[in-house]
Amino acid sequence: MTINGRIITDTAHPPEQMIEVRFETEGGQRLGYAYTRGAGEFTYSDNTGQVGREQNLYVVVEVEGFKPFRERLNTFGGFIGQVTIFLERPNVAARPAKSGGPPIVDIRQLRAKIPGKAVDEYEKALKDSSKGDYSKGIERLERAVKLAPDFYEAQNSLGVQYSRLQRYQDAETAFARAKDLNPNAADPLINLGVLY
């Protein structure tokens, strides 16, 4: 069995080093691995047939500076198809200035009043997403932005989750809203670029 895939990051410049892509059982036993080349593409050829027999096959990527990625692959009928992996950086409230000066934070984000319930929904959505339950994560993020329409992080994360489920029109809307909420942030523009 051969598995082809690509890693996409939410940064303008993906990591320059080769990235290890692991294939594991549900319990974490390593079945095999591949390394990225070129534009984040990878190919894994399983000569043992072990991957094809595994019912609950997971793809795992761990890169410094990004959230760990672990997602179950659909192995229906022994066919996997193309695998796309989205790596996200941890959310931060500020980014360093280009000149090496103090961090830059958009003043609108400091003034935004985000209710605690919206923050709770956002945090639960991140946990759901890390477990691979993107649909539930989307539901929680939609509740968060309904409670707090000015919640930049929730809008941007909602766009990422929509992209994962190939809801591209919804993703574009969420990224555009995130860009409007925080015009100094690069992430929504990068995400729109990846989406297009």
| Entry pTM | 0.49
pLDDT at position 68 over 90: no
**107-195 has the same fold as 2-87:** no
**Contact between 72 and 58 (Cβ < 8 Å):** yes
For the chain, the domains span: 2-87, 107-195
- The continuous run of DSSP H or E covering 51 comes out as helix 50-53
Q: Cα dist. 112→18, 88, 125, 145 in Å?
A: 39, 24, 20, 12
- The DSSP line for 117-166 is HHHHHHHHHHHHHHTT-HHHHHHHHHHHHHH-TT-HHHHHHHHHHHHHTT
CA distance 67 to 88: 6
- Partners of 87 in the beta sheet? 9
Residue 54, pLDDT score:
52
What is the pLDDT averaged over residues 185-189?
Answer: 81
Question: Residue 174 pLDDT > 70, yes or no?
Answer: yes
Spatial distance between the Cα atoms of 133 and 32, rounded to a whole number of angstroms = 24
Q: Which numeric CATH code is attached to 107-195?
A: 1.25.40.10
Mean pLDDT on 169-193: 85
Whether 174 contacts 159, CB under 8 Å: yes
Sheet containing 2-9: give its strands across: 41-45, 2-9, 82-87
Note the CATH number of domain 2-87: 2.60.40.10
